[in-house]
Amino acid sequence: MTIAYEIMNMPVKVGDRREICDLEARSLGEYEVTAVQSFPKQQMQLIRIQVPAAIAKQVAGFRVQAASVSEALKKPLCQSEKADDAMICLCERVTVGQVRELIRKGINDLNQIKAITRAGMGPCGAKTCEVLIKGLLREEGIPTTDVVPNTKRPVFIEVPLAKFPDGGK
Protein backbone atom coordinates (compact mmCIF):
# COMPACT_ATOMS: atom_id res chain seq x y z
CA MET A 1 0.00 0.00 0.00
CA THR A 2 1.27 3.53 -0.79
CA ILE A 3 1.06 6.29 1.82
CA ALA A 4 1.40 9.94 0.73
CA TYR A 5 2.64 12.88 2.83
CA GLU A 6 3.27 16.57 2.32
CA ILE A 7 6.40 18.09 3.84
CA MET A 8 8.18 21.43 3.54
CA ASN A 9 11.79 22.59 3.82
CA MET A 10 13.24 19.09 3.88
CA PRO A 11 14.01 17.67 0.45
CA VAL A 12 13.38 13.94 0.07
CA LYS A 13 14.49 11.78 -2.87
CA VAL A 14 13.19 8.54 -4.32
CA GLY A 15 15.10 5.70 -2.69
CA ASP A 16 15.51 7.49 0.66
CA ARG A 17 14.42 5.44 3.66
CA ARG A 18 12.21 6.92 6.36
CA GLU A 19 11.13 5.61 9.75
CA ILE A 20 7.32 5.33 9.71
CA CYS A 21 5.39 6.05 12.94
CA ASP A 22 1.90 5.58 14.36
CA LEU A 23 -0.20 8.22 16.16
CA GLU A 24 1.88 7.88 19.37
CA ALA A 25 5.13 8.28 17.38
CA ARG A 26 6.00 4.61 17.90
CA SER A 27 8.11 3.19 15.11
CA LEU A 28 6.43 0.87 12.60
CA GLY A 29 9.66 0.23 10.71
CA GLU A 30 11.77 1.85 8.03
CA TYR A 31 10.46 1.99 4.45
CA GLU A 32 11.58 3.31 1.10
CA VAL A 33 10.32 6.48 -0.61
CA THR A 34 8.81 5.34 -3.92
CA ALA A 35 7.80 8.67 -5.48
CA VAL A 36 8.36 12.38 -4.89
CA GLN A 37 6.35 15.15 -6.48
CA SER A 38 7.73 18.67 -5.92
CA PHE A 39 5.75 21.91 -5.80
CA PRO A 40 8.42 24.64 -5.57
CA LYS A 41 5.92 27.51 -5.65
CA GLN A 42 4.28 26.16 -2.49
CA GLN A 43 7.65 24.98 -1.08
CA MET A 44 6.19 21.52 -0.68
CA GLN A 45 6.80 17.93 -1.69
CA LEU A 46 4.30 15.08 -1.90
CA ILE A 47 6.06 11.96 -0.66
CA ARG A 48 4.86 8.40 -1.37
CA ILE A 49 6.11 5.52 0.74
CA GLN A 50 5.33 1.86 0.10
CA VAL A 51 4.30 0.02 3.30
CA PRO A 52 2.76 -3.43 3.92
CA ALA A 53 -1.07 -3.42 3.83
CA ALA A 54 -1.13 -4.87 7.38
CA ILE A 55 0.20 -1.64 8.90
CA ALA A 56 -1.15 0.92 6.41
CA LYS A 57 -4.04 2.02 8.65
CA GLN A 58 -1.68 2.53 11.61
CA VAL A 59 0.67 4.88 9.75
CA ALA A 60 0.38 8.50 10.89
CA GLY A 61 3.65 9.97 9.63
CA PHE A 62 7.38 9.56 9.34
CA ARG A 63 10.32 10.79 11.35
CA VAL A 64 11.97 13.86 9.84
CA GLN A 65 14.96 13.92 12.19
CA ALA A 66 16.68 11.48 14.51
CA ALA A 67 14.93 10.90 17.85
CA SER A 68 18.13 12.00 19.65
CA VAL A 69 17.51 15.59 18.46
CA SER A 70 14.40 15.77 20.68
CA GLU A 71 15.96 14.31 23.83
CA ALA A 72 15.84 16.44 26.98
CA LEU A 73 18.94 18.48 27.72
CA LYS A 74 21.11 17.36 30.62
CA LYS A 75 21.53 20.96 31.80
CA PRO A 76 19.21 23.96 31.26
CA LEU A 77 20.41 26.49 28.69
CA CYS A 78 19.60 29.53 30.84
CA GLN A 79 20.54 30.34 34.40
CA SER A 80 18.21 28.79 36.93
CA GLU A 81 17.41 31.90 38.95
CA LYS A 82 16.63 35.29 37.48
CA ALA A 83 18.10 38.40 39.14
CA ASP A 84 15.61 40.47 41.16
CA ASP A 85 16.36 43.63 39.16
CA ALA A 86 15.68 41.93 35.78
CA MET A 87 12.51 43.00 33.96
CA ILE A 88 9.80 40.37 33.77
CA CYS A 89 7.25 42.70 32.09
CA LEU A 90 8.86 45.23 29.79
CA CYS A 91 5.57 46.94 28.88
CA GLU A 92 4.74 47.85 32.50
CA ARG A 93 8.34 47.85 33.82
CA VAL A 94 7.73 45.16 36.44
CA THR A 95 10.81 43.47 37.91
CA VAL A 96 11.40 39.84 38.82
CA GLY A 97 11.88 40.93 42.44
CA GLN A 98 8.40 42.47 42.61
CA VAL A 99 6.76 39.30 41.33
CA ARG A 100 9.00 37.00 43.41
CA GLU A 101 8.01 38.90 46.56
CA LEU A 102 4.31 38.28 45.82
CA ILE A 103 4.92 34.59 45.12
CA ARG A 104 6.77 34.23 48.42
CA LYS A 105 3.76 35.81 50.16
CA GLY A 106 1.67 32.93 48.80
CA ILE A 107 0.15 34.45 45.66
CA ASN A 108 -0.01 31.95 42.81
CA ASP A 109 -2.91 33.52 40.90
CA LEU A 110 -1.71 35.23 37.71
CA ASN A 111 -4.74 37.57 37.86
CA GLN A 112 -3.75 38.79 41.35
CA ILE A 113 -0.15 39.32 40.26
CA LYS A 114 -1.48 41.31 37.29
CA ALA A 115 -3.79 43.41 39.50
CA ILE A 116 -1.03 44.25 41.98
CA THR A 117 1.92 44.83 39.60
CA ARG A 118 0.21 45.52 36.22
CA ALA A 119 2.39 42.76 34.69
CA GLY A 120 0.43 41.59 31.66
CA MET A 121 -1.62 44.76 31.25
CA GLY A 122 0.62 46.37 28.64
CA PRO A 123 0.12 46.60 24.89
CA CYS A 124 1.49 43.09 24.25
CA GLY A 125 -1.32 41.53 26.27
CA ALA A 126 0.97 39.34 28.42
CA LYS A 127 2.43 37.51 25.41
CA THR A 128 5.92 37.51 26.94
CA CYS A 129 5.63 38.12 30.66
CA GLU A 130 3.02 35.44 31.32
CA VAL A 131 5.48 32.74 30.26
CA LEU A 132 8.24 34.35 32.34
CA ILE A 133 6.01 34.63 35.41
CA LYS A 134 4.98 30.98 35.09
CA GLY A 135 8.69 30.10 34.92
CA LEU A 136 9.31 32.16 38.05
CA LEU A 137 6.49 30.32 39.84
CA ARG A 138 8.19 27.01 38.90
CA GLU A 139 11.54 28.35 40.16
CA GLU A 140 9.88 29.16 43.47
CA GLY A 141 8.59 25.58 43.75
CA ILE A 142 4.93 26.20 42.92
CA PRO A 143 3.49 23.18 41.03
CA THR A 144 1.91 24.05 37.68
CA THR A 145 -1.37 22.54 38.87
CA ASP A 146 -1.55 25.11 41.72
CA VAL A 147 -1.16 28.14 39.42
CA VAL A 148 -4.41 30.00 38.69
CA PRO A 149 -4.29 30.91 34.97
CA ASN A 150 -4.48 34.44 33.65
CA THR A 151 -7.86 35.57 32.33
CA LYS A 152 -7.38 36.62 28.72
CA ARG A 153 -8.99 39.91 27.81
CA PRO A 154 -8.83 41.73 24.48
CA VAL A 155 -6.13 44.38 24.20
CA PHE A 156 -7.59 47.87 23.89
CA ILE A 157 -6.31 51.40 23.47
CA GLU A 158 -8.10 54.52 24.62
CA VAL A 159 -9.15 56.68 21.67
CA PRO A 160 -10.17 60.35 22.05
CA LEU A 161 -13.78 61.03 21.02
CA ALA A 162 -12.54 63.54 18.44
CA LYS A 163 -11.29 60.60 16.36
CA PHE A 164 -14.88 59.34 15.81
CA PRO A 165 -17.27 60.87 13.25
CA ASP A 166 -19.03 63.86 14.82
CA GLY A 167 -16.93 63.37 17.95
CA GLY A 168 -15.44 66.87 17.73
CA LYS A 169 -18.73 68.70 18.42
- HEC letters along the chain: CEEEEEECCCCCCCCCEEEEECCCCCEEEEEEEEEEEEEHHHCEEEEEEECCCCCHHHCCEECCCCHHHHCCCCCCCCCCCCCCCCEEECCCCEEHHHHHHHHHCCCCEHHHHHHHHCCCCCCCCCCCHHHHHHHHHHHCCCCHHHCECCCCCCCCCCCCHHHCCCCCC
Instruction: State the pLDDT confidence band at 76, using cuts at 50, 70 and 90.
Output: low
Instruction: State the pLDDT confidence band at 8, using cuts at 50, 70 and 90.
Output: low
At residue 114, the pLDDT reads: 93
At residue 106, the pLDDT reads: 94
Say whether pLDDT at 90 is over 60: yes
Mean pLDDT estimate for the chain: 82
Per-residue pLDDT reduced to its tens digit, 102-116: 999 999 999 999 999
At residue 6, the pLDDT reads: 53
Say whether pLDDT at 74 is over 80: no
At residue 38, the pLDDT reads: 81
Instruction: State the pLDDT confidence band at 45, using cuts at 50, 70 and 90.
Output: confident
- What residues have CB less than 8 Å from 105, skipping those under 6 apart? none
Q: Where along the chain do its domains lie?
A: 2-63, 87-146
At residue 110, the pLDDT reads: 94
Say whether pLDDT at 70 is over 80: no
The proportion of the chain whose per-residue pLDDT surpasses 70, expressed as a percent, equals 85
At residue 71, the pLDDT reads: 75
pTM of the model: 0.48
Higher-confidence residue of 78 and 113: namely 113
Give domain 87-146's CATH architecture.
Orthogonal Bundle (1.10)
At residue 121, the pLDDT reads: 87
Instruction: State the pLDDT confidence band at 3, using cuts at 50, 70 and 90.
Output: low
